[in-house]
Structure 1
Amino acid sequence: MKALVTGGAGFIGSHLVDRLMEKGNEVRVLDDLSAGSMDNIKRWLDNERFEFIRGDMRDVGVVKDAVEGVDVVFHLAANPEVRIGSQSPEILYETNVLITYNLLEAIKDSNVEYLVFTSSSTVYGDASVIPTPENYAPLEPISVYGGAKLAAEALISGYAHTFRFRALIFRLANIIGERSNHGVIYDFINKLRKNPDELEILGDGTQRKSYLHVSDTVEGMFHIFEHFKGEDKTVDFYNLGNDDWITVKEIAEIVSEGMGLKPRFRFTGGVDGGRGWRGDVKLMRLSIEKAKTTGWKQEMSSYEAVRRTVRELLETM
């Protein structure tokens, strides 16, 4: 299999590249390095089965060249910051919706058979059903980030049905682990290194969400992709998350313990009932029953994933 991984030098993308290469595939990475790092993929640079293209997916020509000759596209390129939507919504449009449109335009004129897209739990918004299943409706994102991900999903579905390729869409919970360079754990570690005596916590600390380690995420993506290839659906959706969830305050306690510190917690109080920022989903836990029917099962709980991620980031940050 020859695969293109957009955003392949990023956090999740680079772990996916590792797995693809270890399985003996040919892999091409397209990344502008705005969020990714060459350090994440440097082990493969001299491998004859690996190719790296530094390019901006807002450039149609770059995207068309990147899809040439590949069988499957794993589309992970995106701006990962949910919070940026309230300050710069145009950035989330360009780096989530526009680049997906450009990719789809290139795919429709190519021999690409499969597109695998990493969407987000944010497409569900403040879901009234928790755990939230894939068929939950109506989808009502409360952030520009969630809206951009949902727009990309809709474009992918429309193009797949119209231009006869198949698309697998993963709605991800909070993904954490080695190489992550944003998110609550990363932020807490940086804050405590600057001031070991006090930790600022956005919101009221009761925000409760599901976390999945990147190793479980990549294993789930590969397992479900193999299952999807054996089915006859044009487009399908799968949640990837955990069976449990954890509060922001509990994460702060785990990070503090991992750093050997006992800081004062200073809660900002947040907005809209204790959220960290406008658009922050306060309660999120996805139903993963559909994913489990394929035979996949996560190795780590949310708590275990957080503890492992703290250890990994303290060793590498």
Structure 2
Amino acid sequence: MEVLVTGGAGFIGSHLVDALMESGNEVRVLDDLSAGSLENIKHWLENEHFEFIKGNMRNHEIVRKAVEGADVVFHLAANPEVRIGSQSPDLLYESNVTITHNLLSTVKDSDVKFLIFTSSSTVYGDADVIPTPEDYAPLEPISVYGGAKLAAEALISGYAHTFGFRALIFRLANIIGERSNHGVIYDFINKLRKNPDELEILGDGTQRKSYLHVSDTVKGMLHIFEHFKKESKIVDFYNLGSDDWITVREIAEIVSGEMGLKPEFRFTGGVDGGRGWKGDVKLMRLSIEKARKTGWEPKLNSYEAVRKTVKELLKTERH
């Protein structure tokens, strides 16, 4: 396949690029390196089947150049930080909705057959049904981040139905693993590096969520894409997560243990009943039955994924 990966130098994107290249595809990456790093994809830069374009997706001409010749677009470019919505909603809109619209404006006039988008569990908001299935409604995001992801989903669906390409949308749980540069595990490690005796924990520590290792995520995306290609749906949605969930306090205990530390935990108390920040979904676990019916199964549960990620991040920092 001729594949474009937007955000392909980022955390999830670079792992996806690895899998696509190892499968013998022609891969082009478009990334402005605001959240990603060339370090993540440097091992492919000299490969004749790989191309890197540094550019901002607000620029229509750069997007047009990147899309040209592609059969498939994996759209992962976005601002990955949920918390930024309360400080800078304009930035979140531009880095999630505007760039998606720019991409769709180009895709509609191209030979792209499939667009695959990484959305988020945050589109469900505080769901009344847990585990939450794909057909849960109404979708009521409680963060600007979740709202921006849902807006992007709606645009993609509208364009796909109108302009004749097919779209696959993944609603992801918390994705963790090597190369991640944000999120609770990354934050805890950095805090404990600065002060091994105390760990500040946002919220009351009882926030409970599902975590999925990036290796399971990429395998799931590619496996379900193969399944989707054989079907006739124009647009389809799949949750990707794990069957269990883990509290923030338990994550803090795993990180501390792997670092050989016994810090005092200091909980901030949080907002709105112990949330880490305004817009933080306190309880999140996705139903993965639909994905499982295609034959995909996560190898690691939340606890295993967290422990593996801590080891990976600590090992990376030591080198």
Please tell me the TM-score bracket, short chain as reference: over 0.9
Q: What does 1:1-317 correspond to in 2, within 5 Å?
A: 1-317=1-317
Taking the aligned partners of 2:283 and 2:308, their CA distance within structure 1 comes to 23
Q: Could you tell me which runs of 5 or more consecutive residues in structure 1 were left unpaired when the two chains were aligned.
A: none
Which string of whole-angstrom CA distances, capped at 9 and with x for unpartnered residues, describes residues 198-240 of structure 1? 0000000000000000000000000000000000000000000
Q: Distance in 2 between matches of 1:123 and 1:4?
A: 25
What is the DSSP-based 3-state SS (H/G/I as helix, E as strand, rest coil) of the residue aligned with 1:200? strand
Structure 1: which 4+ aligned runs deviate by more than 2 Å?
none
Q: CA deviation at 1:20?
A: 0.3
User: What code does the residue aligned with 1:17 have?
Assistant: V
Letter in 1 for 2:135: N
Report the RMSD for the aligned CA atoms in angstroms: 0.3
Distance (Å, rounded) in 2 between the aligned partners of 1:154 and 1:101: 11
Structure 2 CA distance for aligned equivalents of residues 102 and 73 of structure 1: 13
**Which amino acid is the alignment partner of residue 113 of structure 1?**
K
Cα offset for 1:79? 0.1
CA distance in 2, matches of 1:258, 1:2: 41
What TM-score comes out, normalization by structure 1 length?
1.00
Q: Which amino acid aligns with 1:175?
A: I
Q: How many residues align?
A: 317
Cα deviations by residue, 1:78-98 (Å, 9 ceiling, x for unpaired): 000000000100000000000
Residue 112 of structure 1, CA deviation = 0.2
Give CA deviations for 1:13-60 in whole Å, capped at 9, x if unaligned: 000000000000000000000000000000000100000000000011
Output the CA distance in 1 between the equivalents of 2:2 and 2:19. Answer: 13
Q: How far does the alpha carbon of each residue in 1:122-165 deviate from its partner, in whole angstroms, 9 at most, with x for none?
A: 00000000000000000000000000000000000000000000
CA distance in 2, matches of 1:242, 1:47: 34
What is the distance in 1 between the residues matched to 2:301 and 2:121?
A: 17
Aligned-pair identity in percent equals 83
CA drift of 1:63 comes to: 0.4
Distance (Å, rounded) in 2 between the aligned partners of 1:19 and 1:121: 24
Alpha-carbon separation, structure 1, partners of 2:78 and 2:315? 26
